[in-house]
Amino acid sequence: MIPEISHLLTILAAGLFLFSFLVILSSNALRSTDSIIRLSLNCFNAATIFLICAFILYVYLAVMDDFSVKYIAMHSNSDLPIFYKISSIWSSHEGSMFLWILFLSLWLWLFVNRLDTQSNLFRYVIFFSAMVLLFFLLFLLVTSSPFERILPLAPINGGDINPVLQDPALVIHPPMLYLGYVGFAVPFVYICAYLADGEFRQGWETIIQKWSLYAWAFLTLGIGLGSWWAYYELGWGGYWFWDPVENVALMPWLAATAFTHSIHASTKSGVLKSWTLFLGLSVFILSLFGAFIVRSGIIDSVHSFANDPQRGLTLLLITGVIALISFGLFSFRSIKIVNSRLVVSGSKESFLSLNNILMITSIFSVFLGVIYPLITQYFYSTKVSIGPPYYNTIFAPLIFIAACFIALSVESKWQRKWKLTETLSKLSIPILISCFLTFIVQSLHQYSVSLIQMIGLFSGIFIISIYAFKLLMNSVNREFINWSSAVSHLGFGLLLFSIAGNSIFSYEKNLKLNVNEEYITEELEISFDDLSLKDESNHQRIIAQINMKIHEKIISFSPEKRKYFTRGQVTSETDIEATFLRDIYINIGEQLDDGSWTFRVQFNYLIKWIWFSVLLMILGILIRSRAIV
Amino acid sequence: MKSKIRYIFLLVPILIIVFFAYVISQSQNEASQPLNLELPEFQLQTLDDKTLSEKDISSGTYLINVWASWCITCRVEHPFLIDLKDKGVPIIGLNYKDNKDDAINWLKNFKSPYEISIHDFYGTLALDLGVTGAPETYLLKDGIIVRRHIGELNIEKWRQDFEEFF
């Protein structure tokens, strides 16, 4: 019964969104009155509440192990702890789409109810919000219903959640990421409304700025958590793989970063308005594009859901319609948008506008990397894969230019031409410091650091030293400092520094060892002491006991392999010894024919610093959002 | 903005949509796979302790259905297979990486749609067939595999790819 109630509530929500949408559509002809707008707002609110109730009921079903629901039977299991039962809801396509839509409606609901109902834009905001929600609810109900049941004979137990996903990170990584993706629906609907209204009043940027910053924080946190999860739990041995799904998350992130900068310029000095509008639309469209790529299964990736071309086609259609409506509005209406000022060359605005171009370039490069394998596969019938070399080569120069822009824009002023000599004199110390430090690292490493790594290292140190210098000046003679910009850019500089440092200093050893065998070099000794088998409730564990002697310190590791009975899947559990500077990371591989085992031992530097830098960037954005009323 | 430049904002999304629609339609063609493969050699025990080899089924038309008691989708597919059996379609089960007692109990509980079920505990035959997981269905015609379907077999797939052979 409860599954049907949940299903019914979702259908009713879709109906109410439709109604709310139609009311506005007809009110344009009838000359809108307050009561009509109020009616559609009430429908919108009721629909959201229905959707929330439907989701709560669904969570209840998952917790109570109702295996008559096909989706729950396939992805949950009565042996799971309660938080995995809940998170199993978003462990596959249908349920995660449900969560995605729930978040979408929550963001829009909060936003709509904070807006002034008297404002002219209000009805357009409701119109576009209801439209987007209606599309995705229909998609959920028609092509990917999580409410289907197995009746009359329900299975006694479920098929279990994929072991790879049995991890605390699953509980939090997808929800954060989705909150970020759909959070950009708020600026999206507002910009659509603004363009549709066509009166172009001033001050629209401030209304959506704060929302965009929060969405950016969620998106960044979501991507960071995914990276953290891949490194610590999944045993992939790294934090970023240029996997197609990572790339389609990176594109909205880059667009969102450009958008938050551009909207800052628009609010502060009334320039770059078309840019801001365009970027605001692009972030959400790119998020939808990402959902399409992941859920259609046209690209092989570790994240892909089951391949279903029909679903992919529907999602493509929805994304396409939304993109064409919004970009259509943009291309026909934005001609009338007038910036209140012109951009003075050499001013802060001019560097921010160059930053927009730079970001678009990087988005396009990533996009090309994503679709190029498809082009060769379907037009030339050859399979190619585009990996880290492509992206590293593309991104190194872009990042170098970005670092220069950051440097110049920090030293430049709003609406005024820069003074070349003054700027250069201020930047000379950071430039000298970063050249010097890069050279030190190069010589420490016997001149084997590649150009790309040097660029990364230099850019990172350059950005850090600029802001360190600023902070110093602030504490010495109270010189003005923009804290949010300083903190988030310090985070960005540190991110570049740690990524470059990680790729320069890290190394790995692949060993082949028998039990009781040792591997000895000058600086370390590794001994494989024991191998044991353990049976657990739903899996078998093979645990290796390894001792490592490094710098006169003995560390013991116990990496393991797990074989899950229900799905026959094998996972490896890495053992990591993490210190401030370096992680030692041991992964157990395959058993060879002669009975020995392979091990991968990695020495990863500055990994912790990467997570820390991501948190710094988020902190900077939160400081900024507090300053906006 | 110049009036002609603005069409770029419409043209680019349209081109991207058309491109992906083409890619999807191509990948759809790939999904239904007409094959022409010889049934690999094998000799395996069945669940009722007989021995079966490729020679025993080298003439006639059969469905080979990969299943397991641990597979939830097989439960979903089960009623449809029973329908097929009632229509007189001979189905050979390939019990894949499964505990024998569990498999026998499963068939007892839900009624068996299979003429006979091969017990492929180590997945050797499945490996030779190129099985990706359970459920999966093959169509065998006079010793040649002519169709393959990955995932749940349902009435639409059946009509589209399999029915013509029976």
pLDDT, tens digit, 9 for 90 and up, residues A236-260: 678 888 888 889 999 999 999 999 9
* ipTM value: 0.84
Domain match, B14 and B82 both = no
pLDDT above 70 (res A86):
yes
Structure tokens belonging to residue A306: 């089951």
| CB contact (8 A) between residue A150 and residue B7 | no
Q: Where do we find the tokens 């708020």?
A: A186
Structure tokens belonging to residue A98: 């449900």
Considering only residues B15 and B154, tell me which one the structure prediction assigns the higher pLDDT: B15
Residues in A closer than 8 angstroms to B13, CB to CB, are 285, 320, 323-324, 327
Considering only residues B25 and B14, tell me which one the structure prediction assigns the higher pLDDT: B14
Residue B50: give the domain boundaries: 34-165
Question: Chain-wide mean pLDDT for chain B?
Answer: 82
Tell me, what's the pLDDT at A382? 67
DSSP A121: T
Domain match, B26 and B38 both = no
Domain match, B72 and B11 both = no
Q: Where do we find the tokens 């109906």?
A: A15
User: Given pLDDT bands bounded at 50, 70 and 90, which one contains residue A566?
Assistant: low
- Calculate mean pLDDT across residues B139-156: 82
pLDDT above 80 (res A568):
no
Most confident of A293-297, A431-435, A537-541, A577-581: A431-435
Residues A256, A257, A259, A261: what is their CA dihedral angle, to the nearest 10 degrees?
160
Is A589 in the B-facing interface, judged by CB distances under 8 Å? no
Structure tokens belonging to residue B47: 């669940």
Q: At what angle do helices A185-197 and A122-143 cross, to 10 degrees?
A: 130
Tell me, what's the pLDDT at B32? 47
**Residue of B8, B13, B24 with shortest CB distance to A298:** B24
User: Given pLDDT bands bounded at 50, 70 and 90, which one contains residue A379?
Assistant: confident
Number of C-beta neighbours around residue B111 at 10 A: 11
What does the radius of gyration of chain A's CA atoms come to, in whole angstroms?
27
Structure tokens belonging to residue A75: 């992805």
Domain count for chain B: 2
Is A330 in the B-facing interface, judged by CB distances under 8 Å? yes
Q: Residues 1 to 20 of B: which have CB under 8 A from any A CB?
A: 1, 3, 6-10, 13-14, 17, 19-20
Pick the residue of B75, B78, B111, B150 with the most A CBs within 10 A to test the interface with A by mutation: B75
User: Given pLDDT bands bounded at 50, 70 and 90, which one contains residue B132?
Assistant: low
Residues in B closer than 8 angstroms to A153, CB to CB, are 110
Q: Closest Cα to residue A414, out of A358, A340, A465, A329?
A: A340
- Calculate mean pLDDT across residues A419-448: 88
CATH (domain of B48) = 3.40.30.10
Is A327 in the B-facing interface, judged by CB distances under 8 Å? yes
Pick the residue of B12, B22, B23 with the most A CBs within 10 A to test the interface with A by mutation: B23
Considering only residues A445 and A57, tell me which one the structure prediction assigns the higher pLDDT: A57
Number of C-beta neighbours around residue A171 at 10 A: 15
User: Given pLDDT bands bounded at 50, 70 and 90, which one contains residue A385?
Assistant: low
**Residue of B7, B23, B31 with shortest CB distance to A378:** B23
Domain match, B20 and B39 both = no
Considering only residues A455 and A596, tell me which one the structure prediction assigns the higher pLDDT: A455
Considering only residues A169 and A246, tell me which one the structure prediction assigns the higher pLDDT: A246
Q: Are residues A40 and A92 in contact, defined by beta-carbon separation less than 8 angstroms?
A: no
| CB contact (8 A) between residue B20 and residue A316 | yes
pLDDT above 60 (res B2):
no
What does the radius of gyration of chain B's CA atoms come to, in whole angstroms?
21
**pLDDT tens digit string along B52-68?**
888 888 888 899 998 88
Q: Are residues A586 and A557 in contact, defined by beta-carbon separation less than 8 angstroms?
A: yes
Nearest-Cα distance to chain B for A248, in Å, is 15
H-type helices in A199-272, by residue range?
204-232, 244-269
Is A196 in the B-facing interface, judged by CB distances under 8 Å? no
pLDDT > 70 in chain A, percent? 94
| CB contact (8 A) between residue A316 and residue B17 | yes
Question: Chain-wide mean pLDDT for chain A?
Answer: 88
Could you give the 3-state DSSP secondary structure of residue A222? helix
Measured between alpha carbons, how far is B116 from A301 in angstroms, rounded to an integer? 37
User: Given pLDDT bands bounded at 50, 70 and 90, which one contains residue A409?
Assistant: confident
Tell me, what's the pLDDT at A270? 84
Residues in A closer than 8 angstroms to B10, CB to CB, are 324, 327-328, 331
pLDDT above 90 (res A181):
yes
**Residue of A313, A316, A335 with shortest CB distance to B1:** A335
Residues B105, B106, B108, B109: what is their CA dihedral angle, to the nearest 10 degrees?
110
Most confident of A110-114, A347-351, A600-604: A110-114
Domain match, B22 and B41 both = no
Listed by start position, the domains of chain A span 1-166, 171-387, 388-506, 508-608
Pick the residue of A278, A315, A317, A331 with the most B CBs within 10 A to test the interface with B by mutation: A331
**pLDDT tens digit string along A10-44?**
999 999 999 999 988 887 655 657 888 889 999 99
Q: How many CA atoms lie within 13 A of A407 on its CB side?
A: 29
Could you give the 3-state DSSP secondary structure of residue A344? coil
| CB contact (8 A) between residue B70 and residue A150 | no
Domain match, B113 and B58 both = yes
- Calculate mean pLDDT across residues A256-274: 91
Domain match, B119 and B47 both = yes
A142 to each of A256, A304, A399, how far by Cα in Å? Answer: 31, 21, 44
Tell me, what's the pLDDT at A618? 96
Q: Are residues A90 and A55 in contact, defined by beta-carbon separation less than 8 angstroms?
A: no
Burial class (CB in 10 A: 0-12, 13-18, 19+), B103: buried
Domain match, B24 and B98 both = no
User: Given pLDDT bands bounded at 50, 70 and 90, which one contains residue A307?
Assistant: low
pLDDT above 50 (res A149):
yes
Is A567 in the B-facing interface, judged by CB distances under 8 Å? yes
Domain match, B79 and B110 both = yes
Q: How many CB pairs under 8 A join A and B?
A: 72
Pick the residue of A378, A381, A564 with the most B CBs within 10 A to test the interface with B by mutation: A378
Contacts of A307 (CB under 8 A, 6+ apart): A296, A297, A298, B27, B31
Q: Looking at A536-629, which runs of residues are DSSP E strands?
A: 539-550, 553-557, 560-564, 570-573, 575-578, 582-591, 597-605
